[in-house]
C-alpha cells in the first residue's frame, strides 16, 4: 500500500512574526508536489498567524501540547485550545524536550493519547543518543519509547512516527541512508508485531536529523522512509526542495 509522503517543518524557537510570515509567503507561492502532506510547526505565539495566512492544503502543528484539558498549568496549551485555533497537529516527544525538559516516555505517551483522543494528529518523535547508538541499543531505545505509547493508544491512524537520532539533530551529521532505513524497517516490524499488521502498513515513519535538500532525495528513495521532519532547513527557501524530493 502506498503511504502518502509527509514533510513537517519544525521552526523550533526561531524567528519573528515577520520572518514566519516570509516563510509562509514563500510556501504559498511555491510549486509544491500535490501528493505530499505538508505541516509546519512555528513557535506557539505565531500559530494563529500561520494558520490564518497559510494556503489551503498546508496544515499547522503545535510544537507541544499538555495532557490535561484545562486548569492551573501555567504556560501550557490544551488540545481543545489548539482545535479552537484551527491547529490540527502537534509534535510530542521531541528529543529537545526529552533531554532539556526531562519529559519521560510515560508523560509523552499521555500527551500523545490526549491529542489523539481530542482529535489532533500527532508527529511522535523518537530517537537514540550517540552513546546508545555506539552501545548498539538503538532499536531497544526507540521501541521502548514506542511501547509507552502503545500502552495508552490503540488507534495509530492519526500518528506519524518521526525517527530522529539525537546525535544528528542540529549537528550537521546525518545518519547514512542505510542506517536510517535499517531503523525505519525495525520500527515497522515492531508495529506489525506489537500494534497490528495494518498499522505497520499504513503508519508513516519519517526521518529527522539534519535533513537538507542535499540528502533528502536519496533518503526518500528508501522503502520505509515516508518523509521528513525538518528542523533548521525548514526556515530556508530550500524547504521547498525537500518537500519536492519524492518526485
Report which of residues 73 and 131 the model is more confident about: 73
Counting runs of H as helices and runs of E as strands, what totals does the chain give?
11, 8
At residue 210, the pLDDT reads 84
Q: Are 139 and 124 in contact (CB under 8 A)?
A: no
Does residue 144 have a pLDDT over 70? yes
Query: What proportion of the chain, given as a percentage, has pLDDT over 90?
Result: 92
> Span 109-129, mean pLDDT?
97
Q: Which of 86, 34, 93, 80 is nearest to 60 (CA)?
A: 86
Residue 69: phi and psi, rounded to 5, are -75, -30
Question: Confidence band (pLDDT; 50, 70, 90) for 2?
Answer: confident
The three three-digit cell numbers of residue 174, written as one number: 546525518
Grid cell of 74 as nine digits: 501555567
Residue tagged 514533510 (cell numbers):
7
State yes or no: is 96 an active-site residue.
Answer: no
Residue 1: its pLDDT value, please? 59
**CA–CA distances in Å: residue 207 to residues 118, 122, 141, 217:** 26, 15, 16, 12
CA–CA distance, 198 with 181 (Å, rounded to integer):
20
Q: Assign 56 a pLDDT band (cuts: 50, 70, 90).
A: very high
| Cβ-defined contacts of 193-196 (< 8 Å, 24+) | 194/143, 194/146, 194/147, 194/150, 195/150, 195/156
Taking the whole predicted model, whether its pTM rises above 0.95 is answered as: yes
Question: In the chain, what are the domain boundaries?
Answer: 6-243
Over residues 63-72, the pLDDT tens digits come to: 999 999 999 9
- Among 37, 96, 128, 164, which one carries the catalytic annotation? 164
What average pLDDT score do residues 75-85 get?
98
Q: What is the pLDDT of residue 168?
A: 82
Tens digits of residue pLDDT in 173-216:
778 899 999 999 999 999 999 999 999 999 999 999 889 999 99
* pLDDT of 172 higher than 80: no
- Specify whether 94 is catalytic: yes
Task: Round to whole Å and give the CA distance between 93 and 107.
Answer: 9
Catalytic pick among 94, 96, 103, 128? 94
CATH for 6-243? 3.20.20.70
- Catalogue the E-assigned strands of the chain: 6-10, 37-41, 58-62, 89-92, 121-126, 159-163, 205-208, 227-230
State how far the Cα of 173 lies from the Cα of 31, in Å rounded to an integer: 29
Amino acid at each position: 500500500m502506498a503511504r502518502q509522503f509527509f514533510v513537517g517543518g519544525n521552526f523550533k524557537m526561531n524567528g519573528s512574526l515577520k520572518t514566519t510570515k516570509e516563510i509562509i509567503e514563500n510556501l504559498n507561492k511555491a510549486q509544491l508536489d500535490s501528493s505530499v502532506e505538508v505541516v509546519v510547526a512555528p513557535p506557539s505565539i505565531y500559530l494563529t498567524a500561520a494558520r490564518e495566512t497559510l494556503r489551503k492544503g498546508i496544515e499547522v502543528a503545535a510544537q507541544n501540547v499538555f495532557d490535561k484539558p484545562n486548569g492551573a498549568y501555567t504556560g501550557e496549551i490544551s488540545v481543545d485550545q489548539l482545535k479552537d485555533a484551527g491547529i490540527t497537529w502537534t509534535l510530542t516527544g521531541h528529543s529537545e524536550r526529552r533531554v532539556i525538559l526531562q519529559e519521560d516516555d510515560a508523560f509523552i505517551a499521555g500527551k500523545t493519547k490526549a491529542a489523539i483522543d481530542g482529535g489532533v494528529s500527532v508527529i511522535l518523535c523518537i530517537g537514540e543518543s550517540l552513546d546508545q547508538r555506539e552501545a548498539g541499543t538503538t532499536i531497544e531505545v526507540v521501541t521502548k519509547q514506542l511501547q509507552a505509547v502503545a500502552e495508552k493508544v490503540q488507534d495509530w491512524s492519526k500518528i506519524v512516527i518521526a525517527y530522529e537520532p539525537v546525535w544528528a539533530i542540529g549537528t550537521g551529521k546525518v545518519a547514512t541512508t542505510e542506517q536510517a532505513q535499517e531503523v525505519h524497517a525495525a520500527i515497522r516490524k515492531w508495529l506489525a508485531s506489537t500494534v497490528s499488521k495494518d498499522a505497520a502498513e499504513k503508519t508513516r515513519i519519517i526521518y529527522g536529523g539534519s535533513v537538507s535538500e542535499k540528502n533528502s532525495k536519496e533518503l526518500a528513495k528508501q522503502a520505509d522512509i515516508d518523509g521528513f521532519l525538518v528542523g533548521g532547513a525548514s526556515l530556508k527557501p530550500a524547504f521547498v526542495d525537500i518537500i519536492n524530493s519524492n518526485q
